[in-house]
Amino acid sequence: MSRTGIICLSLVLVLGLPLLGVLWAGEPLGRYLEFPPRTSYVQHEPFSWPVFIAIALLIVIVLWPVFFRIAVSNHQLSVASHRSSAFVGTLHASRFMLPWWGWVAIGWTCLWWVVAWTRVPWLVVVQEHTFTPLWLGYIMIVNACTFARTGRCMMLHRPRYFLSLFLLSAVFWWVFEYLNRFVQNWYYVGVADLSSVEYFFRATTPFSTVLPAVIGTAELLTSYRVICSGRNRFKAIQYLQKKWSGWVLVGLSCCGLFGIGLWPNYLFPLVWVGPLLLVVSLQALAGTPTAFSPLAQGDWRGIGVPALAALICGIFWELWNWKSLAHWEYALPFVHRFPLFEMPLLGYAGYLPFGLECVVVADLCLRRQFSGGVEYDTHE
């Protein structure tokens, strides 16, 4: 199967399976296609301590070995660096020099942060549109930091790729907005009075910043040895290379996407996991390398770096959303407790697979691949 075939089939399945599920259940399709979304029809389950504790333990069990491996590797590097005078000399010789446009971006971002969080009457019209300028500033800042550390960044050295991410991102996030119609885990405040055209354009512009932000952050993280240390010598997973695993993942992801509208309280995490598994499994069945391919050699950096990048972006998304005039709010079943800004604490786990999803989609849809000239630090 060609790359175009994988893209088309993925879109058909991701968009079609949830609709088929609710159609099979006899639910009215109109409410899932309402634009802008105004109707609330999913009854979310109340908070449950057993479910909260079970999910929290699962997250800890999954992430603990990774953090432990990073800690051990960084300790070994620290010991080795103290023994190597040459390394220490190189370390002291290196300097972090932010370019002038990076400082401009910091000032720009701080200005819009103030605008977003203040309630000055004559700024109300502008305050409804602060998301995009904030994130344009963030994107420039991470590119400036990458340039300062490596001498390269995708904004300057791969401008076509950089600009293509904005266009792809707008489409990319609309897919998640569509999937959210079946689980209604987040909703936007103040869209009821907007026409369909107004809603589309006011939403598409900020949506276009998602991929440049996540991938720009991931490229910056690859320049930090402390982030990547040890994850190229982690536990190897061979079975993900097998054909049967591709068929299993296709089946699971298709069943999950079919069922999210039927059992939204139980399958809502598949909004973030389902499309990722579907695309990766189709790539595996087509015989092309996937994001999971390096795991066969024990290299987990391509998994961990995008996940951490999305989590960092997620914290800033939630922070800047928190006190903004135009914002979104959440309704998560079973775990809606202990919010950090607007997001319930366990909800941040969804950013981890989302980061990998960002890189997988960008690599699938664009000719250039994720890296931007920034290689993983190999001084280990």
Domain ranges of the chain: 46-234+299-365
Percentage of the chain surpassing pLDDT 70? 84
- Whole-number mean pLDDT of the chain? 87
pLDDT confidence band for 73 (50 / 70 / 90): low
CA atoms within 13 A on the CB side of 98: 13
More confident residue, 378 or 106: 106
Q: What is the pLDDT of residue 103?
A: 97
Q: What is the pLDDT of residue 78?
A: 62
Distance CA 209, CA 140 (A): 11
pLDDT confidence band for 226 (50 / 70 / 90): confident
Answer yes or no: is pLDDT of 119 > 70.
yes
Mean pLDDT, range 42-55, rounded to an integer: 96
- Residue 187: which H helix or E strand, with range? strand 186-188
pLDDT confidence band for 93 (50 / 70 / 90): very low
Alpha helices per DSSP H over the chain: 3-24, 49-83, 85-93, 100-117, 124-127, 131-150, 154-157, 159-183, 196-207, 210-221, 225-228, 243-259, 264-267, 270-285, 301-322, 351-365
pTM value? 0.90
Q: What is the pLDDT of residue 26?
A: 92
Q: What is the pLDDT of residue 262?
A: 95
Answer yes or no: is pLDDT of 120 > 70.
yes
List, for residues 273-332, the tens digit of each pLDDT value. 999 999 999 998 988 888 888 777 777 778 888 999 999 999 999 999 999 988 999 999
Tokens standing for 184?
């209604």
